[in-house]
Amino acid sequence: MLTAMVIAILTAITAWWLLVQRLREKPWVNQGVVPTSQETLFSSAPKIALWLFLAVVSSLFGLFSSAYFMRLHDAHGELQSWVPLAEPSILWINTLVLVLASGAMQIARNRADHEDLGGVRVYFSVAGLLTVLFLAGQVFAWKLVTATGNYGPGNPAYSFFILLTAVHGLHLIGGMFVLVRTTARVWRGVDKLAVVTRSRIRLSVQLCTTYWHWLLLIWLGLFALLSST
């Protein structure tokens, strides 16, 4: 179902965009005409690529969630192997940390819009540290779950918990590469930066912010999914 919804939403967005692009144009009647402007969704290619990538990521997690539900459904047979997990309460703290990371990222983005690269430096670093804290918290949650319960790989609730949090964490780690690179660039010298570099930094900050917010949303969805069963 989730997958179907994700696909439906993506299809709707595509359809809407295609309408914007005037799929009704009759290209054979307007020879010789050169349009003065062409509509595009975003002003920059990296932003389009990021949203496309987020669509891929959403599709991935949507399908994982569908698999979760179907496996849960199929487990209600005679060979009951699904032992519900008692999710450790540290997950609530982790969630809060990730929300704060996302918030710091948003502030960094506002600072970048105001050409305040010093502020970007501070809040970007804070967001990075909070993300590392989140990841450490997730690993700690694995340890808690493994230690407290008598769970093994035979219990899909346990396997799914580790798998989903790990895949989500890997996506954050991927984002951390960009974050670290951008932060390093800002640290190297706030005042000496050329205009081109400044606009590139602003773009990186914008892209990172979008990515972090989206991964926060995905985590909230996963957390709800894991807690609900």
Partner 1 sequence: MAYVAIADRDVHLHDPQTFIEKYIWSQDHKVIAIQYGSVAIFVGLIALVLSLFMRLEIGFPDTFRFITPYSYYQFVTMHGMIMVIYLLTALFLGGFGNYLIPLMCGARDMVFPYMNMLSFWVYLVSVIVLLASFFVPGGPTGAGWTLYPPQTVLEGTPGADWGIVLMLASLAIFIVAFTMGGLNYVTTVLQARCRGMTMMRLPLSVWGIFVATILGLLAFPALLVAAIMMLLDRLLGTSFFMPALMSLGENSGHNGGSPILFQHLFWFFGHPEVYIVALPAFGIVSDLLSTHARKNIFGYRMMVWAIVAIGALSFVVWAHHMYVSGMNPYFGFFFATTTLIIAVPTAIKVYNWVLTLWRANIQINTPNLFAIGFIFTFVHGGLTGLFLGNVTVDLPLSDTYFVIGHFHMVMGVSPVMVLFGAIYHWFPKITGKMPNEVLGRIHFWMTFLGTYAIYLPMHYLGILGMPRRYYAYGHTDFIPGSAHAVNEAITIAAIVVATAQVIFLINVFYSLRKGKPAPQNPWNATTLEWQTPQTPPVHGNWGPKLPVVYRWAYDYSVPDEPKDFIPQNEPPKGHHSLAH
Q: Which of residues 150-209 bind partner 1 (CB under 8 A)?
A: 153-154, 156, 159, 163, 167
| Residue 228 binds to partner 1 (criterion: CB under 8 A) | no
158 contacts 151 by C-beta, under 8 angstroms: yes
**Least distance (Å) between residue 133 CB and partner 1:** 26
**Least distance (Å) between residue 7 CB and partner 1:** 5
Annotate each residue in 55-74 with x if it binds partner 1 (CB under 8 A) or - if it does not, as one string: xx--xx--xx-xx--xx--x
Of 90 and 176, nearer to partner 1 (C-beta) is 176
| Residue 3 binds to partner 1 (criterion: CB under 8 A) | yes
Q: Which of residues 71-90 bind partner 1 (CB under 8 A)?
A: 71, 74-75, 77, 79-82
Of 81 and 229, nearer to partner 1 (C-beta) is 81
**Least distance (Å) between residue 115 CB and partner 1:** 21
Termini Cα distance of the chain: 17
Instruction: Write down the residue that tokens 């008692």 correspond to.
Output: 86
Annotate each residue in 10-49 with x if it binds partner 1 (CB under 8 A) or - if it does not, as one string: xx--x---x--xxxxxxxx--xxxxxxxx-xxxxxx--xx
Q: Can you give the binding site for partner 1, defined by CB under 8 A?
A: 3, 7, 10-11, 14, 18, 21-28, 31-38, 40-45, 48-49, 52-53, 55-56, 59-60, 63-64, 66-67, 70-71, 74-75, 77, 79-82, 153-154, 156, 159, 163, 167
